[in-house]
Copies of this chain bind each other. A is one copy, B any other.
Amino acid sequence: MKTSKEYKESLQKMKPNIYKFSELIEDVTMHPATKRTVNGHAQIFDAAQKPEYNDILTTKSSLTGKQIVRYLSIIGSPEDMIANVRMKRLMFNLTGTCTGGRCAGNNAINAMWATTYNMDNDLGTDYHKRIKKWLIDAQERDITISGALTDSKGDRSKSPIQQKDPDMSLHVVEEKEDGIIVRGAKVMICGVAAANEIFIIPGMGYKEQNKDYAVSFVIPRDIENLTIVETRRPSDTREKEEGFDIPVDVGGITQAYLLFENVFVPNKRVFMCKEFDYSLKAVMNFIAPYRAAIGGCVAGQGDVMIGAAALIARANGLSEKIFREKITQMIINNETTFGMGVAASALGMKHPSGVWIPDQLLSNINKIHVATLPYDTKRITQDIAGGIAETGCLPSCQDLNDPKYGTLLKKYLKANCSGETRAKIARLIEWLTIGAGVPGCMHGGGSPDGAKLIINAKTDINYYIEMAKRLADIKEDIRVEPKK
């Protein structure tokens, strides 16, 4: 397994194709727009070698028997999946934010591991063999693989071929002997700057008329004809500044648009090509572990908020005990998303390919919690912190160091600690609650409304009705005609 130094070197060796603010990023490990997220991902390599985190971050490969990082493993059991939830929580604890350049990739690998297994069985394809070969090699190289699912989509009321522009979702434009050519965009993709490769899976289930859009493959991040544009985050230009106004150096989250201008993918890296019937399965296989594990993510960031809130209370001169009721609520919020992730992991079912698929109902219910509870936790953090950590209530680091009035600012910022320390804590809270550290827990891994659709699809209302009828001894059949 790689060291963090080797990991960074592997990124530096890649061809630059990432842009931000019209600038080509030559070295993602050094550029202010990407270095923090690379640092965050590098922590995975460091932590994997520490005894206290080893069990959570690494496991034995089911393919080779060698010790590998979990992010490259096939999730084979409830225990694996629970470890996965813990791993997400740990990485948020260590980086303060999302290391999204690995988890979606890991989920994509697992989703396509299962889906290709079915495809090969049903259709006589050799996709599963391809992914297996590629994965053994990937484990060997210990590479970082981000995952990309979300298409740009265009008008949400229309399917891909109904769009005026056929490129609004990524699609196969040509099948060649030795590979395929694809065009379109995957958007809002997390952590690609920290990745060596990118795993692509369909953004939704498709019917036959949209079969060109049913495509899955894995590519080097710096593949030809792929242009990557990093998006803005709140306060992202602070990243270029000196000082602590971006308070965290050991982690950072980025999201990007991937622009595919006729990218050629060789066959051995293609895992689905127009088998539309399997596109929804791939998505569902992706969703279940993703929406389970994301409960660990937001709990992990919530843990940091508890610490930051208690710390600023003390900095303000107050014991955190005064805020016990609020901190208890933060704990409840954190443990609820974590717990629901664990529960979805514990139930689930074994797919014939060997993948453990968490329970869809509980996973998707967790997605709803993930789209609500962390917002409450953020609000409580700001509540405890007092005005200083709320929006727009702290001068810039540059002003704190101003020769004319910087001393005065620090004089007035001091409380039960130095003014500078108090400002740092306040910046951490801003970063966590309304700044560059906020992850996309509302729509990341799909929207809560999508989760509700699945919850409803998993619900047989007549089962519940019969339960009630039996209890009250009701025999009459009661139907409602559907509206015409």
**Copies of this chain assembled into the complex:** 4
Selected from B388, B415, B455, B476, the residue in CB contact (under 8 A) with A417 is B476
Selected from B255, B331, B339, the residue in CB contact (under 8 A) with A343 is B339
Closest chain-B Cβ to A367's Cβ sits at a distance in Å of: 10
* CB of A405 closer than 8 Å to a CB of B: yes
A245-B227 contact in complex given A391-B440, A461-B306, A480-B319, C-beta closer than 8 Å: no
* CB of A324 closer than 8 Å to a CB of B: yes
Contacts of A261 in B (CB 8 A): 408
Q: With the chains together, A317 CA to B154 CA distance in Å?
A: 8
Contact with B along A388-411 (1 / 0, CB 8 A): 101111111011001011001101
Most central of A229, A311, A471 by chain B CB within 10 Å:
A471
Closest chain-B Cβ to A416's Cβ sits at a distance in Å of: 5
Contacts of A442 in B (CB 8 A): 379, 382-383, 387, 390
Selected from B96, B188, B414, the residue in CB contact (under 8 A) with A471 is B96
Closest chain B residue to A397 by CB distance? B232
Contact with B along A329-361 (1 / 0, CB 8 A): 001100110111111111100000000000001
* CB of A121 closer than 8 Å to a CB of B: no
* CB of A155 closer than 8 Å to a CB of B: yes
Q: With the chains together, A467 CA to B397 CA distance in Å?
A: 22
* CB of A5 closer than 8 Å to a CB of B: no
Contacts of A19 in B (CB 8 A): 399, 402, 404-405
Most central of A379, A392, A414 by chain B CB within 10 Å:
A392
A248-B471 contact in complex given A255-B392, A415-B156, C-beta closer than 8 Å: yes
Closest chain-B Cβ to A306's Cβ sits at a distance in Å of: 4
* CB of A38 closer than 8 Å to a CB of B: no
Selected from B82, B95, B232, the residue in CB contact (under 8 A) with A346 is B82
Contacts of A304 in B (CB 8 A): 464, 467-468, 471
Selected from B306, B412, B421, B464, the residue in CB contact (under 8 A) with A306 is B464
* CB of A4 closer than 8 Å to a CB of B: no
Is A237 a contact partner of B234 (Cβ separation < 8 A)?
no
Is B259 a contact partner of A408 (Cβ separation < 8 A)?
yes
Q: With the chains together, A188 CA to B236 CA distance in Å?
A: 23
Q: With the chains together, A259 CA to B245 CA distance in Å?
A: 22
Q: Enumerate A362-401 residues with CB–CB distance to B below 8 Å.
A: 362, 365-366, 368-369, 371-372, 375-376, 378-379, 382-383, 386-388, 390-396, 398-399
* CB of A111 closer than 8 Å to a CB of B: no
Closest chain B residue to A413 by CB distance? B152
Contacts of A254 in B (CB 8 A): 392
* CB of A251 closer than 8 Å to a CB of B: yes
Is B447 a contact partner of A387 (Cβ separation < 8 A)?
yes
Q: With the chains together, A257 CA to B303 CA distance in Å?
A: 31
Closest chain-B Cβ to A403's Cβ sits at a distance in Å of: 8
* CB of A219 closer than 8 Å to a CB of B: no
Q: With the chains together, A484 CA to B466 CA distance in Å?
A: 35
Q: With the chains together, A253 CA to B427 CA distance in Å?
A: 19
Contacts of A60 in B (CB 8 A): none
Is A396 a contact partner of B317 (Cβ separation < 8 A)?
no
Is A229 a contact partner of B409 (Cβ separation < 8 A)?
yes
Q: With the chains together, A414 CA to B154 CA distance in Å?
A: 6
A472-B244 contact in complex given A234-B434, A332-B368, A434-B434, C-beta closer than 8 Å: yes
Closest chain-B Cβ to A466's Cβ sits at a distance in Å of: 7
Q: With the chains together, A152 CA to B415 CA distance in Å?
A: 9
Selected from B158, B310, B317, B332, the residue in CB contact (under 8 A) with A455 is B332
Contacts of A176 in B (CB 8 A): none
Q: 12 interchain pairs (CB within 8 A)? A: A96-B471, A155-B316, A229-B409, A234-B434, A250-B471, A304-B467, A314-B479, A320-B480, A339-B366, A379-B442, A382-B442, A427-B472
Beyond the given pairs A229-B409, A317-B480, 15 more chain A to chain B contacts, judged by CB atoms under 8 angstroms and listed by A's residue number, are A21-B398, A155-B415, A188-B393, A232-B392, A235-B235, A249-B473, A250-B470, A257-B409, A259-B412, A303-B464, A327-B459, A332-B368, A335-B361, A424-B474, A434-B434
